[in-house]
A and B are shown apart, each in its own frame.
Chain A
Amino acid sequence: MTPKPPSPSHPKTTGIPTVSFRARLAPRELTRPAPRDYTRLIGIVGAVIVGSLVLVAIFAPLIAPYDPTIRAGAPFSPPSAAHLLGTNDVGQDILSELIFGTRVSLMVGVVAASAAMLVGTAIGLVGGYFPRVGSIIMRGVDVVLVLPFLPLLIVLSAYLGRSVLNTILVIAFLIWAPTARVIRSQVLSLSRRDYVTAARSMNARDGYIIRRHVLPRTFLLAIGEFVAATSAAILLESSLSFLGLGDPLQKSWGSVLYWAQARGAFLTPAWQWWVVPPGLLIMLAALGFALLGYALEQKINPRLRRA
């Protein structure tokens, strides 16, 4: 922010003696620097984290030094050149477990978030576009919103049985409600715009209005919601697996932690290579998606956008 040079296009005008003010006319920089907008940076950091995790998941067989299901070394080995993060109680390579676990964690997160977004968007759309129906539906949404998360999660997955599909369903059931709320408020506002009234006066049906005027501008918002929901879904999946309620046949970050806990690694020096790395990965994934979601939302949601 450089001070503006005195503009030559403003020669003194006639009429009013201004010479005495000359001293005051030196251009000054008066503004405090505006607070920097870090949204872009946050978005980039989030995107880099998410991008690397996705790459790890895709190329897991190439990156991982061992097959995580085989016995690759002596049980309970501390980190060494052969096993960077040591081995677990049955001699499986922990690093490889974590690399392959990325696949499950991300997959569960993304699929559950997609399902939640679809349900949430549909319900938000109906609830916002038809306010009478909406006022009833949204009471249901309120109920889901206030349900205690973890206890319900445990009860549901215990009841449904341990499989990846059930994990996804349970998580999706728990996280669609906030999306529905956000989408509904956007649809409520969009469907009361003058141009929607204009379209009605041109004889447009509801289907046309939703397709043409409401959905396109809601969809962007749903993307932001989706990314944020993924973060929540990954955390929930880890919690479930950590509690031993995940699919026992799939290795995820949560299940690595579950076994670490079951074998007492939390109390031995093994926590450094058996507990901390999966924990950090969970945190990193949740953070990455949350940052990306925040940046997207700032860009998309007009209500949050800076004037």
Chain B
Amino acid sequence: MLKPEADVRTTAPAADGPAALEIRDLSVSFRTSSGDVDAVRGVDITVRSGTTHAIVGESGSGKSVTMMGVLGLLPEEAQVSGSIRYLGKELVDAAPAELRAVRGAEIGVIFQDPLSSLNPVMTVGAQILESMTAHRGTAAGATWKRAAELLAEVGIPEAERRVKEYPHQFSGGMRQRVMIAMALAAEPRVLIADEATTALDVTVQAQILRLVQRITAERSMTTIWISHDLGVVAQIADDITVMQSGRVVERGSCHDIFAAPREAYTIALLESMPRLDAPLRELPPRATATGTAAVDVRDLEVAYQVKRGLRTGNRLVRAVDDVSLEIAAGETVGLVGESGSGKSTFARALLGLEPMRHGTVHLAGQDVAGARRASLSALRRNAQMVFQDPSSSMNPGLSVQEIVTEPLLINHRMSASGRRARAAELLELVELDPQLARRHPHQLSGGQRQRVAIARALSLEPSLLVCDEPVSALDVTVQTQILGLLRRLQADLGVSLLVISHDLAVIRDIAHRVAVMYLGKIVEVGDREAIFGSPQHPYTRALLGAVPTPDPTKRFPPTPLQGDPPSPLSPPPGCRFHSRCPAAVIGRCDTTVPTLTAWTPTHDVACVRLGEPELTRQT
């Protein structure tokens, strides 16, 4: 698939404007105890002034290492050769002082995780001030007023007051805005965003993308956007460089690359990305028998006591609040929602990993809540879980065989030799070479590890497989394979799946039915065609509207959804979504708690204004 690097083609002449940043033949290698690792091998990138340049690639492609090189932030073990020029000034062996004059002052950075990039014991205003004085070498002009102006510029309401607050008092999206304000503090001409929206919910991501676009346009800045997400890139980039294994595979203008990718790797990337505008994929047929549902949840509530101050006493947080959901045998139900919506808690409660406050859970017709320990264990074997991150969900000290057969060992099924045979069977079932049984998890790739995790979950032949974000830790090309495997396993084994994801495109690719959760409640549930074809709830519509389409000709309309999801500690009264809902009517939505009502026989919606013609117009 990969051509020799001499064959890298340029789809369009990349350099017609003046270059802000020119990277020439950059190579970075790391000395490790097991030999040199070449992270970047001879990369050329030209970033035109005043444009947004996206560097796209999967994990290990060298895109972040390249940018760390630009910033002079590589670890000491790194060996760098080649040239990096910022406005003609060489950065590669610049003296630390020269480098500092550029980094931060001329080139600002936003990282992926705003929480770990902000100092928790300094107010955000102080951190912005620090960023101003550190780069200018003078405190002149670095005033709290200026800091507040910056916060206001990045869309933080009540900036005058919030400038004195600490990072933990901000939500995830707001923290990322603070990071942007810090990056802007020294008035840089170039902004580097390294996976800056990856950790955010889609509605917040859409807000941040618009914000960065607006600010960079207003200040005529150059932006370098590093991302694995082609959807995001299509929405904002002017030029694109595609990287793989430390080399540039393809470069060109955004429109050209999306319209006519030329390299096999780029084509594969674009094709494997699940997208909302692709034709609906054929799914294995659901079992038509009217037998008992694989899962029947009624009015499930999971709540935690949260300790607060002495005077205020403890508070009850309802992570899952009166949720009912049914999954038929052989059916896949997708559960979507932003972080904090309670979707993972719901799944864990199904498996008996979270205490239920009330409600009932029936697995294959048997009541889980009422079960005693012995029968509970029998029930648990009926439902197994696949976790988000395969590398953390397996003990690194065990071999693949031990991992795959662990459920058999725990439940005293089979002898050691029987387990060995079963391990081989299971590995074949998930399309892995049985030879891998003797390996350890760290010797496997991410995709292989997730297959092992699936094999482990299947070893007890459960009737329900709960997959919590099964592909979100994987590269897109691997995602497609894992989703394909899950569909095939369902067709072959008739297992029911509950797939939890924040990624609507993934859900659309695998689920027969979809449930949308917001702050512990299901707001809309229905067949895939109904949810993606004619969503009724304003939240579902906003979610769908916020997903970046990997097509530069279809850039975002203004996103209707503002703000962040409120804290589950103090959910808004009435309809929990009303505080962000563009169609909310004060007096109704904040007083009446909507219940799930049948819109069509296979489509339930919980909205007070369901069916009103204005609802459709306003959202």
Contacts and interface: CB of A to CB of B under 8 A. Distances in A.
A148 interface: no
Closest 4 CB pairs of A and B: A10-B42, A15-B10, A194-B393, A202-B407
B385 A198 contact: yes
Interface string B6-26: 101110011100000000110
Interface centre among A29, A202, A212, A216 (most CB of B within 10 A): A202
Interface string A189-222: 0000111011111111000100011001100000
A139 interface: no
B29 interface: yes
B41 A10 contact: yes
Contacts of B460: 202
Interface of B: 5-6, 8-10, 13-15, 24-25, 27, 29, 31, 41-42, 44, 46, 76-83, 90, 92-93, 248, 251, 351-353, 377, 380-381, 383-385, 387, 389, 392-395, 397, 406-407, 410-411, 456, 460
Given A31-B76, A199-B406, A193 B392 contact: yes
Contacts of A200: 353
B9 A14 contact: yes
B82 A15 contact: no
A202 B380 contact: yes
Given A13-B6, A28-B81, A34-B76, A21 B24 contact: yes
Contacts of A18: 24-25, 44
Contacts of B251: 15
Given A202-B381, A203-B377, 6 more contacts: A16-B44, A18-B25, A31-B76, A197-B353, A202-B384, A202-B406
Nearest to A26: B81
A213 B92 CA distance: 46
Interface string A26-47: 0111111011000000000000
B241 to A, nearest CB: 12
- Main DSSP-derived SS at the A contact region: loop
Given A15-B10, A31-B79, A202-B380, A213 B410 contact: no
A303 interface: no
8 contacts: A1-B31, A4-B27, A10-B25, A193-B392, A193-B395, A194-B393, A195-B393, A213-B395
Contacts of A208: 410
B24 A14 contact: no
Contact of A203 (B76, B78, B389, B410): B410
A35 B250 CA distance: 38
A16 to B, nearest CB: 6
Given A15-B10, A195-B392, A201-B385, A32 B44 contact: no
Nearest to A24: B83
Contact of B93 (A4, A28, A34, A194): A28
A202 B381 CA distance: 6
B407 to A, nearest CB: 4
Nearest to B31: A1
A80 interface: no
Interface string A67-104: 00000000000000000000000000000000000000
A151 interface: no
B25 A194 contact: no
A11 interface: yes
A217 B396 CA distance: 10
Given A16-B46, A194-B389, A202-B406, A30 B397 contact: no
A301 B600 CA distance: 58
B79 A34 contact: no
B83 A7 contact: no
Interface size grouping (class) on chain A: 35 or more
B81 A27 contact: yes
B42 A217 contact: no
A49 to B, nearest CB: 26
Given A25-B82, A34-B77, A202-B411, A13 B395 contact: no
B380 A201 contact: yes
B136 to A, nearest CB: 27
A31 B77 contact: yes
A275 to B, nearest CB: 46
Contacts of B5: 9-11, 13
Contacts of B82: 24-25
A198 B93 CA distance: 49
A71 B600 CA distance: 106
A1 B92 CA distance: 18
Nearest to A35: B76
A1 B90 CA distance: 24
B81 A4 contact: yes
A105 B25 CA distance: 63
Contacts of B248: 13
A193 B396 CA distance: 11
Nearest to A6: B81
B393 to A, nearest CB: 4
Contacts of B10: 14-16
Contacts of B25: 10, 12, 18, 21, 25
A183 B235 CA distance: 50
Nearest to A216: B397
Contacts of B397: 216-217
B405 to A, nearest CB: 11
A14 B8 CA distance: 7
A16 B42 CA distance: 14
A241 B351 CA distance: 59
Contact of B381 (A9, A12, A28, A203): A203
Contacts of B389: 194
A35 B75 CA distance: 12
A34 B33 CA distance: 13
A9 B29 CA distance: 14
A73 to B, nearest CB: 56
Contact of A7 (B27, B93, B456): B27
A307 to B, nearest CB: 8
A28 B392 CA distance: 39
Contact of A30 (B80, B353, B380): B80
Contacts of A14: 8-10
A14 B251 CA distance: 11
Given A193-B392, A199-B406, A11 B6 contact: yes
Given A34-B77, A200-B353, A201-B385, A16 B31 contact: no
A201 B353 contact: yes
A171 B397 CA distance: 35
Contact of A9 (B41, B46, B380, B410): B41
Interface centre among B92, B397, B407, B410 (most CB of A within 10 A): B410
Contacts of B24: 18, 21, 24-25
Contacts of A9: 5, 41-42
Contacts of B9: 14-15
Contact of A21 (B83, B394, B410): B83
Contacts of A32: 76
A202 B382 CA distance: 9
Given A203-B377, A203-B380, A195 B27 contact: no
A7 B41 contact: yes
B92 A30 contact: yes
